[in-house]
Structure 1
Amino acid sequence: MLRQQDVGHRIVVRRIVGIREGRPLFSDALGELVELSETHLTLATAQGQLRVPVAQVHRAKRVPPTRRPTAAAVVALERAADEAWPAPTRGRLGDWLLRSAEGWTGRANSALPIGDPDRPLAAAVDAVQRWYAELGQPALVNTPLPLAAPVGAELDARGWGTRPPTLVQTAPLPRLASASADEHCGTATDQGDARGAPTDTADPASGTPDAAARIDAAAGAPAGGSSAVVDLAATPSDEWLAIAAGRKGGLPEAARHVLSAVDQVRFAHVYADGTLVAIGRGTVTGQGRWLGLSLIEVLPVARRQGLARRVINELAGWGASGGATHAFLQVEQRNEAAVALYQRLGFVTHHTYLTRVAPDR
C-alpha cells in the first residue's frame, strides 16, 4: 500500500466501483498522488482531481514517472513566480523563503521550502512557525511536488492541513500568442471568458486559492469583444485597483507592493463606453525568461466576448517583445473550466503545489 513518502509521485490505483453477480468490479486510475489520509487518497489525473476512499482501494502502487521537469527547473520557476508576486516582508532559512504581506493572498504569506534550510527539517519547520507567530500570522507553507514531498511528510506528522492542489502551468509564448489570437478570431472556441482564472494566490476571505477563478463558458455569440482595445500601462489605474480589491477582499498597502514592486510589469485595461470591464497583470521575471499572468478578470457585463483571451494575447506580445520565451500561471486544479481554457491556449502542467496550514493551538 501507499505511504506518505509516495505523495507527489505518480501512482496507479485499482479501486472497487461495484459488485456484479457477487464479484467486485474494478476501475483503474493513473495520476499524481497529491494527498493521502487515513480515509482517502487524492489523485491528480489527466481528467481532473479524483478522491478515492481508502475502503474502495483494492491495490495501489507507485509507477515510473512520465517525463517531468527536473528539480532545478521547478526551483527556477518557483523563484520566478516569487519574483512576480513579491511580498514586502521577507526572511530566509538557508535557501527557504519566508514571506508576509499583511495576510493579503496566500502565496505572499507563506514559506517556500525549496533548497537547503541550513538546519534539520524538524528545526526548520519550528523556525517557520516562530517567524509567522512573531508577525501574528498563521503559518503557511507552499510545497511544490514532488520536490518538497519530504517537507509535506513532516507537516503531515505534525497535523498540518492541506488546501486544494494548485497547478503551475506553462506555455511557450509563440504558441500562446497564436492560440489566443485564433480563439478571439473565432477559429477556436470563442464562448468563454476567464473570471480571474490564473489563481496565483489564495483568497484571504475563503482561505483557498481564489474561489472567483472560474470560466463563464455558456454559449453565446461574442458581442464586440473582437474590437476591444487592450491598453497596457506601467501602473494600475484606480479603477483597476478597485476591481482587484473587490476580487481579493481588500487592498492593503502591502498588496500595492506585491502588485507593483517588479521591474518589468504591465497592467492590462479594457474599457467599454468609458467603463473598465476587464483587467490583467503581466510580469517578466526569472532572468527575463518567464511571463507571469495573474489577476485576469472580466466583469459580468462584458463576459462571453473573448476579452480574457485578448488580455492574455496582448500581455503575451508584450512579454515576447521584452525577451520572454515562456508564460506561466497558477490555477486551482478543481477549477476544471479554467484548466480547459488554458489547455486550449497551449498551457500544460509543469508541476503542482499544496498550501499547507499549521494546526490551531
Structure 2
Amino acid sequence: MLRQEDVGQRVVVRRIVGIRAGRPLFSDLLGELAELSESHLTLVTTQGRTEVPRAEIHRARRVPPSRRPTAAAVAALEHAADEAWPAPTRARLGGWLLRSADGWTGRANSALPVGDPDRPLPAAIDAVQRWYADLGRPALINTPLPLAAPVSAELDARGWSGGRPTLVQTAPLAALPPARPTVAGAPPVELTTTPSADWLAVAANRKGDLSAAARHVLTAVPQIRFAQVRVDGRLVAVGRGTVTGAGRWLGLSLIEVAPEDRRRGLARQVVHALAAWGAAVGATNAFLQVEQGNAEAVPLYRALGFTTHHTYRTRTAPAG
C-alpha cells in the first residue's frame, strides 16, 4: 500500500469496479498521487482528478516516473527556492542550511539538509536542535524526498512529526500554454518591484502577521516582481515572481484570488504575466511549491503544464 512519502509521485492503482459471476472486476488508474488519507486517495490523471475510496483498492504501488530528477537537480532547485524565499537569519552546518525568520512560514524557519553536514547524521540533527533552541524557536527540518530519505528515517526514529507533503512542481516557460485571449474589459495585471500595502495585507492574511523578518523574506530578492489585479480599485488577485538559481528559475508564490472573483481566469493571468517577465530577464523554467491537498491549485497548475519534480515534508522536533 502507498504511504505519505509517495504523495506527488507516479502511482498505479488497481480498483475494484464491480462483480461479475462472483468475481471482482478491476480497472487500473495511472497518475500522480495528490492526496492520501485514511478513507481515500486522490489521483491526478490525464482525465482529471479522481478520488478512490480505500475500500475499492485492490492493489496500489508507486511506479518509476517517466523522468526521475537527479540528486544534483533536486539540490540545485532547493537552493534556488531558498534564494527565492530568503530567511534573514542564516547559518551553515557543513552543506546544510539553517534558517530563521521569527517564525514566519515553515520554509524560512527550517533547516535544509542538502549536502554533507560534515559530521555523522545523528550529530547533525543534534546541532540543528541546539541552533534553534538558542534562538528560542522550535527545530524544523525540511526533507526533500527522496534526496533526504536518510534524514527522514532518522527523524522518524527520533519521533519527529511530519506535515503533509508539499509538491515542488516545475514547467519549462516555453511549454506553458498560451494565455487565453483577453476578454474585453478584463482587468490588466500590473507588475511592480515593491508590494503595495493591500498586497501585503493579502500575504499577511494567508501567511500570518508581517514582521520585519517576514518583509525581508518577501522582498529581499534582487530580481522580483509583485503582480496585482484590480477591479474598480479593489485588489482581486496577487502573485509574486522571483528569478534565482543563476537566473535560470522563475519562482512563483502567493498566487491568490479573492474568493468572490475566482473561476474567472485571474490566477492564469497572473501566472502568465509573471512568466512573461521571467522569460524576458532570462529564466527558462518555472517552479512553485503547492500543498498536496490544495484541491483548487493543483489542477490549475497541472493545466498550465506543471509536473511534480520532487516533494518535501516539514518535520518538527518533539516537544521537550
Q: Which residue of 1 aligns with 2:201?
A: 242
**1:265 partner amino acid:** I
Q: Out of 316-325 and 296-305, give the one that drifted further.
A: 296-305
Root-mean-square deviation over aligned CA pairs: 3.5
Q: Which residue of 2 aligns with 1:358?
A: 317
Deviation at 1:30, TM superposition (A): 6.7
Q: Which residue of 1 aligns with 2:215?
A: 256
SS in 1 for 2:296: helix
Deviation at 1:229, TM superposition (A): 1.6
Deviation at 1:66, TM superposition (A): 3.8
Q: Which runs of 5+ in 2 are unaligned?
A: none
Taking every aligned residue pair, what percent have the same amino acid on both sides? 70
Q: Measure the CA separation in 2 of the matches of 1:63 and 1:119.
A: 34
Q: Which residue of 1 aligns with 2:257?
A: 298
Counterpart pick for 1:289 among 212, 236, 248: 248
Deviation at 1:5, TM superposition (A): 10
**2:223 partner amino acid:** Q
Q: Could you report, residue by residue, the CA deviation over 1:316-360 in whole angstroms, capped at 9, with x for unpaired residues?
A: 111010000111111111213311111111111111111111111
**2:161 partner amino acid:** G
- The verdict on how the C-alpha distance between 1:137 and 1:6 changes in structure 2, with shifts beyond 3 A counting, is same
Q: Contact 1:33 / 1:42 at 8 angstroms: preserved in 2? A: no
Q: Contact 1:32 / 1:43 at 8 angstroms: preserved in 2? A: no
Q: Contact 1:8 / 1:149 at 8 angstroms: preserved in 2? A: no
1:72-151 to 2 correspondences below 5 Å: 72-151=72-151
Q: Measure the CA separation in 2 of the matches of 1:87 and 1:328.
A: 19
Q: Measure the CA separation in 1 of the matches of 2:164 and 2:63.
A: 23
Deviation at 1:272, TM superposition (A): 1.5
Q: TM-score, normalization: structure 1?
A: 0.75
1:1-361 to 2 correspondences below 5 Å: 45-47=43-45, 64-176=64-176, 178-179=177-178, 181-182=179-180, 185=182, 227-361=186-320
Deviation at 1:67, TM superposition (A): 2.0
Q: Out of 18-27 and 162-171, give the one that drifted further.
A: 18-27
Superposition misfits of 4+ residues, deviation over 4 angstroms: 1-36, 39-53, 55-65
Aligned positions, number: 317
Deviation at 1:278, TM superposition (A): 1.6
Q: Contact 1:168 / 1:353 at 8 angstroms: preserved in 2? A: yes
Q: Contact 1:5 / 1:149 at 8 angstroms: preserved in 2? A: no
**1:155 partner amino acid:** L
Deviation at 1:249, TM superposition (A): 1.9
Q: Measure the CA separation in 2 of the matches of 1:154 and 1:19.
A: 44
Q: Measure the CA separation in 2 of the matches of 1:231 and 1:299.
A: 16
Q: Out of 346-355 and 44-53, give the one that drifted further.
A: 44-53
Deviation at 1:19, TM superposition (A): 9.6
Q: Contact 2:240 / 2:254 at 8 angstroms: preserved in 1? A: yes
- The verdict on how the C-alpha distance between 1:21 and 1:332 changes in structure 2, with shifts beyond 3 A counting, is same
Q: Contact 1:86 / 1:108 at 8 angstroms: preserved in 2? A: yes
**1:151 partner amino acid:** V
Q: Contact 1:33 / 1:41 at 8 angstroms: preserved in 2? A: no
Deviation at 1:63, TM superposition (A): 5.4
Q: Measure the CA separation in 2 of the matches of 1:165 and 1:3.
A: 11
Q: Measure the CA separation in 2 of the matches of 1:267 and 1:17.
A: 48
Q: Could you report, residue by residue, the CA deviation over 1:142-190 in whole angstroms, capped at 9, with x for unpaired residues?
A: 11111111111001111111111111111111222x43x13x658xxxx
Q: Contact 1:7 / 1:33 at 8 angstroms: preserved in 2? A: yes
Q: Contact 1:12 / 1:60 at 8 angstroms: preserved in 2? A: yes
Q: Which runs of 5+ in 1 are unaligned?
A: 187-223
Q: Could you report, residue by residue, the CA deviation over 1:190-212 in whole angstroms, capped at 9, with x for unpaired residues?
A: xxxxxxxxxxxxxxxxxxxxxxx
Q: Contact 1:31 / 1:44 at 8 angstroms: preserved in 2? A: no
Q: Contact 1:236 / 1:267 at 8 angstroms: preserved in 2? A: yes
